[in-house]
Amino acid sequence: MPCPALARSFSLFSLFRSAPAPVVSKPSVSTLAPLFSLPAEESPTPPQTVRALSAFQTYLVQLRSHLEAQKEADASELLAGALRGYGHAVFHAARVGWGDDGTEDAERLRQSLSTSLKGVVGLYRILSADPDGFSINEEQMAVTRKALLASISPQSAELPHGQLVPIFARARTIIASLQATLRPTASSKAVSRASPRPVVAATDAEADEIMALLQVFADRIESVEALVGPMKSKTKAQKEQDKRRPLRIGIEARVLRCDVAMSMANRDIKAIKVRARRALPDEEDGEMSSDVEKDDKGAKWERIADEALIEVLEVSRALIEDKRGGVLSDKVERSDRFGEEEGGSVPVSPVRSTKSGRDDEGDERGDESGSVDEEEDEEEDDEQVDTYPCPLRSVFRLHDRFEEQRLAVWLSLPAATRPGMGTFMRGEEGKVGEAWDGLGLLLQLDYDR
């Protein structure tokens, strides 16, 4: 790829309010020193992090100008610095931005996350798609590749491979906090039991923020052509597995995003029932109640959750249509992604595997009653596995939660005016039901063969 075209592919050139004036001179990798010297073991201060990311911004602006001015130039070392810098920017901005909430610096750091995330995935995609055109240090490419592979894992939380983990850890923390308000004795099934997490108050703004980041990540990672495993792929089947890895990570991110949305929507089941009753025709004159709350926050999250679930179902269907149903159902060992030396017997699965796609949600029905099968919970706590969850089971789990919520609401409605149960269970305008039917039909055809 010519240097000017590569320059236009960069993101993150306006991290903060004031951007340095572009210069044509070759940027110095020493500009990245403040970012790379930030402590990884403990969070730096917000001002310190802002200064480091501002220096990174200077580097990127200078690099873009340099690339635009040079039709042919060996920018391998400079591009490797940018690739590493994007990952460090995500890691530190996430930890400090969420760890010091409420300050102006923390807000600025959180605002930088989306473009930083686009940068690390986007630049990796460009460089890996044209390895002959860029002689990037393979060690740096391997670090970023492992960071992408480790992104959705609760483990690998340290640098260098844990660059993106704080975003996904934040999503699980939000889910845990919402589930804790519903069932104090049980954690969300989407939250790993590997280590305890502090319970935080999940606001609408925080949920919006994390869902936007998960959407950005899923969209970008699925555009990566391939992510090689610990061994160089030689056969056609091995190369196909390389192509499936980004798709697997993408659907896992979408499932987590949907879990956040559904947890937000189900914060107050009583309010959901009230809205459903108000939306019914009046028992006497058949007219719709005039005080239906069409636009309150609860109704907004119900719509978002439905849309997120439909997206998960449609992406899953597209994978099967593309003859890649294994992305949803194949068992993936940690060593398949990182090699035996980094495999280990660590419980990395954020959702427990079970024999049936629907069996792992027996206690989700506790949303309404608060009851939990403690014996099953103890069994899950003791389970030590070294596999990633089957996304298909997670998709079933999400749809189960949707149906359980709809059923609980339908049963609370006046029998004289409520719609038919079959119609109500399919969601607003039947959209969720239509997406579910489409996926189910293809699953039957695909797995019965």
- Mark the ranges of the chain whose per-residue pLDDT is less than 70: 1-24, 71-73, 101, 131-134, 154-157, 181-201, 282-295, 340-387, 449
| C-alpha–C-alpha distance, residues 401 and 393, integer Å | 12
Token pair listed for 30: 């020493």
Residue 170 in 3-state DSSP?
helix
DSSP string covering 221-264: HTTS-----SS---SHHHHHHHHHHHHHHHHHHHHHHHHHHHHH
Contact 189, 364 (CB under 8 A): yes
- Which of 46-64 are b and which e, b meaning 16 or more Cβ less than 10 Å from the residue's Cβ? bebbbbbbbbbbbbbbbbb
Burial 156-193 (b: 16+ CB within 10 A, else e): bbebbbbbbbbbbbbbbbbbbbbbbebbeebbbbbbbb
The pLDDT value recorded for residue 183 is: 54
User: How many other CB atoms sit within 10 Å of the CB of residue 295?
Assistant: 8
Model pLDDT, residue 130: 76
Where b means 16+ CB within 10 Å and e means fewer, 2-26 reads ebeebbeebbbbebeeeeeeeeeee
Cα angle, residue 440 at apex, residues 437 and 445 outer, rounded to 5° = 130
- How long, in residues, is the chain? 449
Tokens for 263, please give them. 């947890």
- Predicted confidence at residue 168, as pLDDT, reads 93
pLDDT in tens, 70-121: 756 678 888 899 999 999 999 999 999 998 767 888 888 998 999 999 999 9
Separation CA 245–CA 327 (nearest Å): 8
pLDDT at position 72: 60
Cα separation, 308 vs 215, in Å, equals: 10
Concatenated DSSP letters for 60-120? HHHHHHHHHH-SS---HHHHHHHHHHHHHHHHHHHHHHHHTTTSHHHHHHHHTHHHHHHHH
Radius of gyration, CA atoms only, the chain: 24
Per-residue DSSP letter, 20: P
Residues paired with residue 288 on neighbouring β-strands, in sequence order: 281
Distance between CA 266 and CA 393 in Å, rounded? 21
Helix, coil or strand: residue 54 = helix
Q: Are 262 and 398 in contact (CB under 8 A)?
A: yes
CB count in 10 Å sphere of residue 154: 21
- Sorted by where each begins, the domain ranges of the chain are 1-136
Residue-wise pLDDT for 146-190, tens only, equals: 999 999 876 666 778 889 999 999 999 999 988 876 654 333 444
Query: CA-to-CA distance for 336 and 230, rounded, in angstroms?
Result: 7
Q: What is the pLDDT of residue 354?
A: 32
C-alpha distances out from residue 281 to 166, 410, 416, 430, Å: 47, 14, 10, 19
